[in-house]
Structure 1
Amino acid sequence: MPGRTGRVLQIGFTYMGTVVGAGFATGQEILQFFTRYGQWAVLTIAFSTFFFIWLGAKMMLLAGEIGAKSYEDLNKALFGPKIGQLVSYFMLVVLLGVNAVMLAGAGTIFYENWNISYQTGLVVTLIACFLMLRRGMNAILTVNSIVVPFMLLFTVILLYNTFNSPGADRWITMTTDDSLLRIWSAPLLYTAFNLAMAQAVLVPLGAQIEDRQAIRWGSLFGGIGIGFMLLAGHIALSSHMPGVQQFEIPMGGVARQLGYAIQFIYIFLIFSEIFTTLIADIYGLALQLQQRVSIPRNLLLLIILVICYLLSQIGFGPLVSTLYPLFGLFSLGWLVLMMLKKTGKRRGS
């Protein structure tokens, strides 16, 4: 059991760390997909949490069954060889865009909170990513196992502080003029997008772990953790609406209410969560490209990082608001096929 418990925690923390990226940790995704819909957000967050638990496990189990080397193998199993290959090409472009969002988010944190230039923040993050990615999947598991527990702890602190501040009940009383179709399509788009992106690291992770029960429990733990952080973020942001919308890093604006020391630590954790997702996505992207090009791994990582740097010049806010809904719409088709795909036994078992 100690061995299985350790695997469950690693899977759960890695799952949370992969999904809790720039848009999530900074609060932009929570604002865009949940908080703007007022009191409906609690139900839509519960809806998303269910899908994270169910389909996260299913994705990792399927990866083990087919012996997937990268997310391209999973897409071929879902869509068929030809269409799956085209989907993987599109995913490559999407992941580059998402990684640019992660990098832009890191640069914005340096600028808005630490009075360090945006470009310096980008370069520091890129160097740290390269050094970490040279160590492979073990580095990703280790980083998430350290960062995510602290993020959960500070989420509890943030929630406690919110319940003891004015406007604590706005998450219950806030209303919206948006249609029910738009309200309920938002969590579907959000979940579809994040699950499609998470396959970059969850597929190779699921292929490596032979313990199917550990995968199921790890997905349950990770999905509940994601749902908890979504709800806590929504409650905190709601209490500061509508003023908090002016920040590119909304959760940073909320953290300012906690005092300088707590704010500094929380902002550092937001950066760390962005970093964990960035290295996970780039790792998955490199695995997919290694199946197609005969470029040394370190050089390939450098090329990917340089492309992400160039894309990050667009800025964090515009990237999130423009790219995420578009990619989420595409991911809906992927989500439906994941729901319909049946799982059996791991290949060779």
Structure 2
Amino acid sequence: MLGQILRVALAFVGVIVGAGFASGQEIMQYFVGFGLNGMWGVAIAAVVMSVMALIILQLGSYFRATEHGRVFDRIANPTFSRLLDLGVLITLFSTGFVMFAGAGSNLNQQWGWPVWVGALIMVALVLAAGFLDVDKVTTVIGAITPFIIVFITVACLYVIFFVDRGPVDELNAAALEVGSTMPHWSVAAVNYVGFNLMVAVSMAIVIGGSMFSPQVAGRGGLLGGLLLSALIAVSAVTLFLAVETVGDDELPMLTLINDVHPALGQVMAIAVYGMIFNTALGMFYAFAKRLSVNRPERFRLWYFGSVGVGFLLSFFGFRNLVGYVYPILGYIGLLLIAIMLVAWVRERSRIAAESDRRLRLRDLWLAGREDEFMAEVDASNLDETQIRTAVRDGR
């Protein structure tokens, strides 16, 4: 069970730790820009993120969902379900074109290339990937995530032990000069969680749905939320301590890694570019798949069309897009948080009972006690085929 919990936790972290997080710009805008108060925002975000990760993955497991629409339809009325589905679509497209802007900024900051060149190369890569086996491509690029976590840890240690910095009051003043588009640090904290959940909810529900036990899925989500919160805290403290140096940069974490050693900076730039590609590909691919669900032959039309429009929108600039587009998505995410929270509270007793039942179902199946097994199947919210497949496969 511990291995399953850890696997779910790491999968959840992998879904959310994307290019925006790795660049440091998200953390700068949502937390560091509020100075010391932003650290309180990190604490609030940690609590909300951990709780919501538990809830989303547990609901996914409870309904054995294979896509987010199944859960939305079961926990919300048709109007709210459609609103959430529309919100996910908007998030997919918006995050995709922000990645093009980030690709341009990445190569501009590291090698001085014109912003449009880095963005155009990314567009070409994403378009080309539309003809390839997307699962294999994203698996390879997804392997970069652990390296990004290592780079962030290295940057933190470097700043703490080797960077000269002024007193806390001066750091706080410098951070406040960076500023944020959000009205208050508490709003920013919840908005940050809302945005990340809107980006991750589709895959998080699928991850939860792959687990037969809601208890295991929930604990994995909670652990994943805590691990992610620790990464957010490390990044926020690191960037706050170095804010006088990196506060005006598009990709502040890349600046810090370059300061550690230029060679590491080159590797970091390539790694971030790879994560940008992974995020952009995933967003546009899912967006086009959803819009062409009833007419699969139109997938490439939607895919190429949305990538082209996204490239044009990317010229608003990475920093501006993170500062203004992400908060809008975060406010949409607040609706997701509210609906998921209410649904989980309403279904909590049923989820707990079903968790115990599924443990008994596995034991009864292994013991060959068919009559008792069928009695439990009749009481479950899943059908017999789903249950037999799950217990047979050991999931």
Q: TM-score, normalised by structure 1?
A: 0.84
Q: After TM superposition, give the deviation of residue 170 of structure 1 in Å.
A: 4.0
Q: Which protein has greater RCO, CA pairs closer than 8 Å, 6+ apart?
A: 1
1:159-208 per-residue CA deviation (whole Å, 9 max, x = no partner) reads: 11011121287499736889xx8221211111111112211322333333
1:310-345 per-residue CA deviation (whole Å, 9 max, x = no partner) reads: 322322122111112222223212211222212524
2:343 pairs, out of 334, 341, 344, with 341
- Matched residues in 2 for 1:13 and 1:171: separation? 37
2:208 pairs, out of 206, 209, 216, with 206
The alignment yields a C-alpha RMSD, in angstroms, of: 3.1
Structure 1 residues 197 and 40 mapped into 2: Cα distance closer, same or farther (>3 Å)? same
1:264-310 per-residue CA deviation (whole Å, 9 max, x = no partner) reads: 12222322333333333334324422434433545543333233223
Q: After TM superposition, give the deviation of residue 154 of structure 1 in Å.
A: 1.5
1:66 pairs, out of 60, 63, 67, with 63
1:128-178 per-residue CA deviation (whole Å, 9 max, x = no partner) reads: 44555643556545543x222111212221111011121287499736889
- Matched residues in 2 for 1:44 and 1:250: separation? 20
Structure 1 residues 137 and 216 mapped into 2: Cα distance closer, same or farther (>3 Å)? farther
1:219 pairs, out of 218, 221, 234, with 221
Residue 48 (structure 1) aligns with: 45
Residue 268 (structure 2) aligns with: 266
Amino acid corresponding to residue 135 of structure 1 in structure 2: D
How many percent of aligned residue pairs carry the same amino acid? Answer: 21
CA contact (8 A) 2:87 2:198 kept: no
Residue 329 (structure 1) aligns with: 331
- Matched residues in 1 for 2:279 and 2:296: separation? 26
Q: Unmatched 5+ residue regions in structure 2?
A: 355-380, 388-395
- Matched residues in 1 for 2:214 and 2:290: separation? 24
CA contact (8 A) 2:239 2:252 kept: yes
1:301 pairs, out of 300, 303, 317, with 303
Alignment partner of 1:34 is 2:23: no
Residue 93 (structure 1) aligns with: 90
Q: Unmatched 5+ residue regions in structure 1?
A: none
Structure 1 residues 52 and 277 mapped into 2: Cα distance closer, same or farther (>3 Å)? farther
Q: TM-score, normalised by structure 2?
A: 0.75
2:164 pairs, out of 143, 163, 166, with 166
Residue 362 (structure 2) aligns with: none
Amino acid corresponding to residue 164 of structure 2 in structure 1: P
- Matched residues in 1 for 2:211 and 2:118: separation? 35
Structure 1 residues 12 and 290 mapped into 2: Cα distance closer, same or farther (>3 Å)? farther
- Matched residues in 1 for 2:54 and 2:47: separation? 11
Correspondence 1:87-166 to 2 at 5 A? 87-130=84-127, 134-137=132-135, 140=138, 143-144=141-142, 146-164=143-161, 165-166=163-164
Structure 1 residues 12 and 129 mapped into 2: Cα distance closer, same or farther (>3 Å)? farther
Bigger-Rg structure (1/2):
2
